[in-house]
Structure 1
Amino acid sequence: MALHLLCVGGEDHALRIPFLTALQNRGLRVSAAGTGAVSPFTKNGIQYHQYQFDRFGVGLSDRAAMGQLSQFVKHLRPDVIQTFDTKPNLFAPLALRGAVPVVRTINGMGWVFSSTELKALAFRPVYLATQRLAACWTAATVFQNKADSRFFHRHHLLGKSSAAVIGSSGIDVDAFETARARTAPPSELRAELGLDDAEIVLTVSRLTVQKGIPTLLEAAKIVHQVRPQVRFLLVGPRDSEGPFAVDQALIEQHAPYVIATGARSDIPALLGIADLFAFPTEYREGIPRVLLEAGLAGVPIVASRMPGCDDVVVEDWNGHLVPPRDPRALAAGILDLLQDPTRAKTMGQRSIGLVRREFDLNVVADRYAALYRQLLSCGGPNDGRAVRQSSSKIQ
Structure 2
Amino acid sequence: MKIVIGASYGPSLLNFRRDLIREMVGRGHRVTCISVEPKEEMEEALAALGAAYETVGGSRTGTGILENLAMFLRYIKLLWLVKPDLCFFYMAKPIVFGGSAAVILGVKRIYSFITGLETAFYSKSGKDFVLRCLLCLCYKFILHFSKACFFMNRDDIKRLGKWKVVREEKAVLVNGSGVNMEHFMRLPLPEEPCVCMTARLVQGKGVREYFEAALLVKKKYPEVPFLLVGGFDEHKEAIREEELFALLEEGAVTYCGHAEDVRPYLKECSIFVLPSYHEGNGRSIVEAMAAGRAIITTDAPGCRDTVVEGYNGFLVPPGDVGALAGKLELLVRNKELRTSMGDCSYLLCKEKFEVSKINNTLLLTMGL
Q: Which runs of 5+ in 2 are unaligned?
A: none
Question: What is the CA distance between 1:217 and its match in structure 2?
Answer: 1.2
Q: 1:313 aligns with which of 307, 318, 322?
A: 307
Q: Secondary structure of the equivalent of 1:373?
A: coil
Question: What is the CA distance between 1:176 and its match in structure 2?
Answer: 2.2
Q: Indicate the percent of aligned positions where both proteins have the same amino acid.
A: 25
**Residue deviations 1:73-104, cap 9 Å, x none?**
11112111001111211112222226112100
The equivalent of 2:241 in structure 1 is 248
Q: 1:75 aligns with which of 81, 100, 119?
A: 81
**Residue deviations 1:308-337, cap 9 Å, x none?**
111111111111111111211111121121
Conservation of the 8 A alpha-carbon contact between 2:202 and 2:235: no
Question: What is the CA distance between 1:198 and its match in structure 2?
Answer: 6.7
The equivalent of 1:218 in structure 2 is 212
The equivalent of 2:193 in structure 1 is 199
RMSD value over aligned CA atoms?
A: 2.3
Give the Cα separation in 2 of the matches to 1:160 and 1:146: 11
Q: 1:49 aligns with which of 42, 49, 54?
A: 54
Give the Cα separation in 2 of the matches to 1:250 and 1:221: 16
For 1:250, the aligned partner's letter is: E
Question: What is the CA distance between 1:177 and its match in structure 2?
Answer: 2.5
Give the Cα separation in 1 of the matches to 2:141 and 2:36: 24
| Superposition map of 1:80-159 within 5 A | 80-97=86-103, 99-100=106-107, 101-158=109-166
For 1:219, the aligned partner's letter is: A
Q: Secondary structure of the equivalent of 2:183?
A: helix
Conservation of the 8 A alpha-carbon contact between 1:22 and 1:361: no
For 2:264, the aligned partner's letter is: A
Give the Cα separation in 2 of the matches to 1:321 and 1:67: 44
Count of matched residue positions in the alignment of Structure 1 and Structure 2: 356
Distance change in 2, residues 1:334/1:27 (3 Å): farther
Conservation of the 8 A alpha-carbon contact between 1:230 and 1:257: no
**Residue deviations 1:282-330, cap 9 Å, x none?**
2x31112111110011100101111111111111111111111121111
Q: Which runs of 5+ in 1 are unaligned?
A: 187-196, 375-395
For 1:47, the aligned partner's letter is: A
For 1:5, the aligned partner's letter is: I
Distance change in 2, residues 1:320/1:4 (3 Å): same
TM-score, with length taken from structure 1: 0.84
Conservation of the 8 A alpha-carbon contact between 1:53 and 1:65: yes
Give the Cα separation in 1 of the matches to 2:83 and 2:227: 46
Give the Cα separation in 1 of the matches to 2:45 and 2:291: 25
The equivalent of 1:393 in structure 2 is none
TM-score, with length taken from structure 2: 0.90
1:356 pairs with 2:350 = yes
Question: What is the CA distance between 1:242 and its match in structure 2?
Answer: 5.0
| Superposition map of 1:288-367 within 5 A | 288-367=282-361
Distance change in 2, residues 1:210/1:229 (3 Å): same
Distance change in 2, residues 1:242/1:135 (3 Å): closer
The equivalent of 1:193 in structure 2 is none
Conservation of the 8 A alpha-carbon contact between 2:116 and 2:152: yes
Distance change in 2, residues 1:215/1:8 (3 Å): same
Q: Secondary structure of the equivalent of 1:164?
A: strand
Please say which of residues 96-105 and 112-121 is displaced more in the overlay. 112-121
Give the Cα separation in 2 of the matches to 1:242 and 1:168: 22
Conservation of the 8 A alpha-carbon contact between 1:199 and 1:274: yes
Conservation of the 8 A alpha-carbon contact between 1:110 and 1:285: no
Conservation of the 8 A alpha-carbon contact between 1:107 and 1:168: yes
For 1:18, the aligned partner's letter is: D
Q: 2:7 aligns with which of 3, 6, 9?
A: 9
For 2:2, the aligned partner's letter is: H
Conservation of the 8 A alpha-carbon contact between 2:30 and 2:51: no
Higher RCO, Cα 8 Å, sep 6+? 1
Give the Cα separation in 1 of the matches to 2:67 and 2:265: 38
Give the Cα separation in 2 of the matches to 1:67 and 1:24: 27
